Amino acid sequence: MDNAGAIFPERQVGPDGIESTLATLVVGPFVLVGELLPLLPADPGSQVIAVTSGGMYTQRLPLDDLEFATGDYDGARAYARAKRAQTALMREWARRFARSGIRFNAMHPGWPTPLASRSPCRASIA
């Protein structure tokens, strides 16, 4: 299960050259799951679960600017975009590995959580 998350008030780029929100929520888990994929078919019932956020519904996924390099950066919007990318990635893995027996799922932890109860995303979804 992947439950990494962070909201940065200003756009940051990590030492790997990737915007920090995308790196934390999408790229890091992608690499981790990619390394685990060869092992998962050996265990019947293997699953990959991404803990995502309903906040993703507040943003489209701009494929031409995944790292929020253009426009006015907003940490909550970057988080929502990354969570949408995370969910799209789960869907794509489920498609590609449909015959492997591995299940890929994305789930929302539910409301309320301490952070979510103060989130502008909650007002957009509730």
**Residue among 79, 83, 85, 93 flagged as catalytic:** 79
The answer to whether the peptide bond before residue 9 is cis (omega within 30 degrees of 0) is no
| DSSP line for 7-38 | --SS--B-TTSSBHHHIIIIIHHHHHHHHHTT
CA distance 19 to 22: 6
Q: Which residues contact 62 (CB under 8 A, 6 or more apart)?
A: 81
Q: Residue 85, Cβ neighbours under 10 Å: how many?
A: 23
Active site residue 73: no
Residue numbers annotated as active site: 79
